[in-house]
A and B are shown apart, each in its own frame.
Chain A
Amino acid sequence: IAPPPLGPPSSIAPPPLVPPSSIAPPPLGPPSSIAPPPLGPPSSIAPPPLGPTSSIAPPPLGPPPSIAPTPLGPPSSIAGPPLGPPSFVGPTSFVRPPVAPPPTVAPSASLSQPLSRPPMGGSSTSQPPPATFQRPPITSYPTIASSVAPQTSTNQQQMQRQYQQSPAAAVYQSNVTRDGWNVGWGTDSVDLLQQRQVLPPGGVEPPKPVLAQDFVRNCIPDILRCTFTKVPETKSLLQKAKMPFGILIHPFKDLEQLPVVSCQQIVRCRSCRTYINPFVVFRGERRWECNLCYRINELPDEFQYDPVSQTYGDPSRRPEVREATIEYIAPSEYMLRPPQPAVYLWLLDTSRQAVDTGYLQIVCDVLREQLDNIPGDRRSLFGFMTFSATVQFYLMPEESDSVNMLEVGDLEDIFVPHPDDLLVNISEQRDQIEKLLKTLPQTHANTTHTQSALGPALTAAYRLLYSLGGRLTVLTSILPSIGPGILKAREDPNQRAATDVLHLNPATDFYKKLALDCSGQQIAVDLFTLNSQYIDLATLSGISKFSGGCVHHFPNFHVHLNPSSVSPFVSCLTRYITRKIGFEAVMRIRATRGLTITNFHGHFFVRSPDLLSLPNINPDAGFAMQVGIEEPLHNIRTAAFQAALLYTSSRGERRIRVHTLCLPVTGNLHDVVNTVDQQAAVALLARMAVDRCQNSTSTDARDALVNACIDALTSYRNSLTQSPGRALMAGHNLKLWPMYTLALLKSISFRGGLSTKLDDRVFAMCELKTLPTRALIASIYPDLYPVHNLSESGALNIDDEVVPQPCRLQLSAEYLNRDGAYLADTGSKMIMYVRSSISTQWLNDVLDVEHFAAMPQMIHELPELDNNTSVLLNSFIKHLNNNRPYQSPILILREDSPARLQFAQLLVEDRTEGAKSYVEFVQFLSSNVK
């Protein structure tokens, strides 16, 4: 709520209202983008002819043309709130105008934007007493009337569009109005038995929670997302909805704009310790009501000062109450000890098998290249250890510039020799580090050890980092075979296709216990496995799971035998080394009173019911929490979740990143079911199913997924006012659920019947647990684009580069033409599939080959050629690669390539061995939904 002094209308010159944005980078985000058009056009639109008499004139533009430009101006810079009192003038009169076919009114397209928020325009002309404008009562949020108005108008616009598009409207004349409304409100439904194409060609956008305070920006769904956009009021309602309730969070996501606040006192609720956020209610000037526990708190004096405009007296303009995602620089009371330096310790496998893959050279090269890009400050420490049948330490004493290797063979009770010389300062002893990186591969080139003492090496690393904390990176490629932590090959290759998968649980608790010890000392262990043989990831991953680390798996990595495996490894490693990192972190999730977090999913250690201990936090880690309703949320209009991540940045600053998501509460089953966020729900179910696999059996987990889908569709059916007969109805927000469920059943984690290596499966499960929602959905249901006919129509123009936007296709072979080329994008890799009748022109343009027969079986790089087709395709792929941790490797397959199975596996809607096709699955669901 930002009630800037509107003053008397005449003084509403827009520019002065725009505060210099020094602290809060996007304080005026969307509004400012609206600002220009209204200021411009009005003068051209408002020429007197429209005057008071003209009936077409949108009322808001109202009588005196001289005022017309001004009313449109201010609201744009005010992000909404002034709607308050004036809109009472009569919402209806404002709602209507956009409905009347605008073309006659709107001389330019730019008008349609201001029109969608008409009430503000008219408001100032209707002369409410200026006094109320000066300071609209902060406590009174715009009432329903005012906030509904803009929505209604946009909805109706949508509705009109739908009229023109949907042929159904023509057929069912009688239902036109109702359908239109349904579409407008997002409650339209489809019969899944009839309608096979349910995927929106433009991609799925997460539904947005609609709040009464819709001028306040909510947390973006990529960071914090709830499975419902309207929270059910009571437990029984949630049970009736039969859908999972939870939140998905990506707390340390790389953000382009993040307001950072440094203040002496961070304003928090005194009873529940919630950070002040945009959804609190101000009670007068000096007090605010917490939106989680409803305690009334005092505002400190400092909060009256607005750092943006450098003025006093208006707490509602502080960035803390304008941004749902904000970062604080924490004062000293948030530190248990002085912020730790960035500490990086690498633990590399130097057994014969590992050295043979050639990974050591690559790791050393990448590290040497990126040594300057490792996040940290002057205090950063760096160290190396290697292990084979013994554990090797590398001493880099400060006084000399030599590097000495020490080998320790006593594995039962390992000790750390000269701990002071093992971790060295990156900036001061850089030469030694470089020297070590240069010589390391040669040192071990002729090793004859074929055993791995991973357990003792980890223990030694833990002891080395004990007093400091930091990040331990482990690269290993064989099963630990000596010393404590020894593992056995448990996998039976003949059982790889079995429906019930065994050995998904750890064989020993050695790694888990060590991970808990590490977690207590703020050490995170990140695991890279580069194995060609079974390595028991189910047990090994414990070391990362409970210490807040990440797991990366590169099966069959070999520099010479499998050259295509190198580039993904290099790009992943580069990203890993250079990405941001937070040390000694904790994350606390708070929720409105009555809601409790029941289960957590991700890599961390749960220290108390709402506190996760994360020795390290990385920007690619996602988390999920299941939420339960303990007390009914009666008489509450909104529920909120707040995630606060306290961490030490690599520069030694203690920071708190706070995300707040606010959702409306509803007591209506229809609302709950209709506003579910299917992607979030499926992502949460996938995580729950992974747990089920571990605690029970895979068959059980698969059944649970199917049952969840049946339940969701059943409760949708029950929420309909009239019985749909035999049709399998699914709402707009539900129609992709069966498809995603089917995709999950066929994903590497849960599939049965297809031969899957145990390690691959366990890794896929780790990914399901930790991927952020968008990446998770892309990994189970990849985006498929036709790329043989990219055109500039409908293309985006980003930085003078034309980015074509082909429609997404559903993942079934029936949508693939014989003369096409298709790109499947799973987020972690892209596969382009070139069909045999593809035009030679296209092959020539894009791949620089004469004809299909001349095309190699597999290509690992897309050439950049100087013609339009190639430029379009390359810019499209570059666009897809934006906003992801690292560039996805691309694989180009021709239709008859032996590797085409890789592509065929992605077509999850087709029937595969032991699994249904989409049509069969929907029929199966329909027979079970009653």
Chain B
Amino acid sequence: MVFSFAAFSYICALIIDAFLIFFAIFHIISFDELKTDYKNPIDQCNSLNPLVLPEYALHVLFNLMFLFGGEWFSLCLNIPLIAYHINRYRTRPVMSVPGLYDPTNIMSHDVLNTCQREGWIKLAFYLLSFFYYLYGMIVSLIATS
């Protein structure tokens, strides 16, 4: 059995996607803690901010692999999310450190709700795409054998 590059990229995407699912869960839990008064927003932002760019980078990484592997459909599925990430980072508050979350406005109800909704939607997206990548991997493996 020989691996095609497409199959390899799906396997990578699967593994990375599992990480992303963990990121999303962590994100949701963090904001829930903020909402229920358990954590100080400064600490919480300090723990969340360093994770933002790695998450984006991992996501872009397997999409690059899709691009080189010619998996256009999978790529198209992910392009909206990449665009959203870029826009989100472009409009972030003025900060001197990498990250998105500003402890001074994070406690505002709107921001908190937006972030939490973002977490849930991303979680759903990553979960669904996990099964899709699994399917994609099997298809490409069968195609090569």
Closest to B109 in A: A598
Which residues of the other chain, A, contact B102 by a CB distance below 8 angstroms?
509
Given contacts A607-B40, A608-B37, contact A598 B110 (CB under 8 A): yes
In A166-220, the 8 Å CB interface with B consists of none
- From A510-518, A644-652, A859-867, the one touching the partner chain is A510-518
Q: Is the CB of B42 within 8 A of A516?
A: yes
A901 to B145, CA, bound (A): 86
A626 to B108, CA, bound (A): 10
A506 to B104, CA, bound (A): 13
List 20 additional A-B contacts (Cβ < 8 Å) besides A513-B96, A598-B108.
A505-B94, A507-B94, A509-B96, A509-B102, A510-B96, A512-B104, A516-B103, A600-B107, A600-B108, A606-B107, A607-B40, A607-B41, A607-B107, A608-B37, A608-B40, A608-B41, A608-B107, A609-B37, A626-B109, A628-B109
A611 to B39, CA, bound (A): 12
Interface hub of A508, A512, A597, A628 (most chain B Cβ within 10 A): A512
Which residues of the other chain, B, contact A598 by a CB distance below 8 angstroms?
108-110
Option from A513, A546, A609 in Cβ contact (under 8 Å) with B35: A609
A609 to B41, CA, bound (A): 10
A516 to B44, CA, bound (A): 14
Chain A CB within 8 A of B95 CB: yes
Sample 12 A-B pairs with CB under 8 A, ordered by A number.
Answer: A505-B94, A508-B94, A513-B96, A516-B104, A545-B104, A597-B109, A598-B108, A599-B110, A606-B41, A607-B40, A607-B41, A609-B107
Closest to A605 in B: B104
Q: Is the CB of B107 within 8 A of A509?
A: no
In A589-633, the 8 Å CB interface with B consists of 596-600, 605-611, 626, 628
- A residues with CB within 8 A of B: 505-510, 512-513, 516, 520, 545-546, 596-600, 605-611, 626, 628
* Closest Cβ–Cβ distance, residue A864 to chain B (whole Å): 49
In B29-52, the 8 Å CB interface with A consists of 34-35, 37, 40-42
Q: Is the CB of B109 within 8 A of A596?
A: yes
A605 to B95, CA, bound (A): 17
- B residues with CB within 8 A of A: 34-35, 37, 40-42, 93-96, 102-104, 107-110
Which residues of the other chain, A, contact B93 by a CB distance below 8 angstroms?
509
* Closest Cβ–Cβ distance, residue B93 to chain A (whole Å): 8
* Closest Cβ–Cβ distance, residue A905 to chain B (whole Å): 32
Which residues of the other chain, A, contact B40 by a CB distance below 8 angstroms?
607-608
Q: Is the CB of B96 within 8 A of A508?
A: yes
A600 to B41, CA, bound (A): 15
* Closest Cβ–Cβ distance, residue A594 to chain B (whole Å): 15
Option from A509, A516, A605, A611 in Cβ contact (under 8 Å) with B94: A509
A599 to B104, CA, bound (A): 12
Q: Is the CB of B104 within 8 A of A546?
A: yes
Option from A505, A508, A599 in Cβ contact (under 8 Å) with B109: A599
* Closest Cβ–Cβ distance, residue B66 to chain A (whole Å): 35
Which residues of the other chain, A, contact B95 by a CB distance below 8 angstroms?
509
* Closest Cβ–Cβ distance, residue B101 to chain A (whole Å): 12
Which residues of the other chain, A, contact B110 by a CB distance below 8 angstroms?
598-599
Closest to A608 in B: B37
A545 to B105, CA, bound (A): 12
Which residues of the other chain, A, contact B42 by a CB distance below 8 angstroms?
516, 520
Option from A509, A599, A611 in Cβ contact (under 8 Å) with B108: A599
A492 to B6, CA, bound (A): 54
Closest to A513 in B: B96
A315 to B94, CA, bound (A): 54
Q: Is the CB of A506 within 8 A of B94?
A: yes
Which residues of the other chain, B, contact A597 by a CB distance below 8 angstroms?
109
Which residues of the other chain, A, contact B109 by a CB distance below 8 angstroms?
596-599, 626, 628
Interface hub of B34, B94, B104, B108 (most chain A Cβ within 10 A): B104
Nearest first, the 6 A-B pairs at minimum CB distance are A598-B109, A606-B107, A608-B37, A509-B94, A509-B96, A509-B95
Which residues of the other chain, A, contact B103 by a CB distance below 8 angstroms?
516, 605
Which residues of the other chain, A, contact B107 by a CB distance below 8 angstroms?
600, 606-609
Which residues of the other chain, B, contact A596 by a CB distance below 8 angstroms?
109
Which residues of the other chain, B, contact A505 by a CB distance below 8 angstroms?
94
A382 to B104, CA, bound (A): 30
A598 to B110, CA, bound (A): 7
A606 to B103, CA, bound (A): 8
* Closest Cβ–Cβ distance, residue B116 to chain A (whole Å): 13
* Closest Cβ–Cβ distance, residue B53 to chain A (whole Å): 17
* Closest Cβ–Cβ distance, residue B100 to chain A (whole Å): 13
A516 to B40, CA, bound (A): 12
Which residues of the other chain, B, contact A509 by a CB distance below 8 angstroms?
93-96, 102
Closest to B113 in A: A598
Which residues of the other chain, B, contact A607 by a CB distance below 8 angstroms?
40-41, 107
* Closest Cβ–Cβ distance, residue A584 to chain B (whole Å): 16
Closest to B112 in A: A609
A384 to B127, CA, bound (A): 59
A474 to B125, CA, bound (A): 50
A628 to B109, CA, bound (A): 9
* Closest Cβ–Cβ distance, residue A695 to chain B (whole Å): 9
* Closest Cβ–Cβ distance, residue B42 to chain A (whole Å): 6
A520 to B40, CA, bound (A): 11
Interface hub of B34, B35, B40, B109 (most chain A Cβ within 10 A): B109
* Closest Cβ–Cβ distance, residue A509 to chain B (whole Å): 5
A599 to B111, CA, bound (A): 10
A826 to B42, CA, bound (A): 39
A608 to B40, CA, bound (A): 7
A912 to B119, CA, bound (A): 48
Interface hub of A505, A507, A513, A545 (most chain B Cβ within 10 A): A513
Closest to A520 in B: B42
A596 to B36, CA, bound (A): 12
A506 to B42, CA, bound (A): 19
* Closest Cβ–Cβ distance, residue B10 to chain A (whole Å): 41
Interface hub of A506, A508, A599 (most chain B Cβ within 10 A): A599
A520 to B94, CA, bound (A): 21
A820 to B55, CA, bound (A): 70
Interface hub of A546, A600, A609 (most chain B Cβ within 10 A): A609
Interface hub of B35, B96, B103 (most chain A Cβ within 10 A): B103
A274 to B94, CA, bound (A): 38
Which residues of the other chain, B, contact A516 by a CB distance below 8 angstroms?
42, 103-104
Closest to A606 in B: B107
A790 to B41, CA, bound (A): 57
* Closest Cβ–Cβ distance, residue A245 to chain B (whole Å): 12
Which residues of the other chain, B, contact A605 by a CB distance below 8 angstroms?
103-104
* Closest Cβ–Cβ distance, residue A460 to chain B (whole Å): 20
* Closest Cβ–Cβ distance, residue A461 to chain B (whole Å): 20
* Closest Cβ–Cβ distance, residue A223 to chain B (whole Å): 24
A21 to B102, CA, bound (A): 51
Closest to A510 in B: B96
* Closest Cβ–Cβ distance, residue A612 to chain B (whole Å): 10
* Closest Cβ–Cβ distance, residue A720 to chain B (whole Å): 33
A509 to B94, CA, bound (A): 6
Which residues of the other chain, B, contact A510 by a CB distance below 8 angstroms?
96
A605 to B109, CA, bound (A): 14
Closest to B108 in A: A599
Which residues of the other chain, A, contact B108 by a CB distance below 8 angstroms?
598-600, 606
Which residues of the other chain, B, contact A610 by a CB distance below 8 angstroms?
37
A605 to B96, CA, bound (A): 19
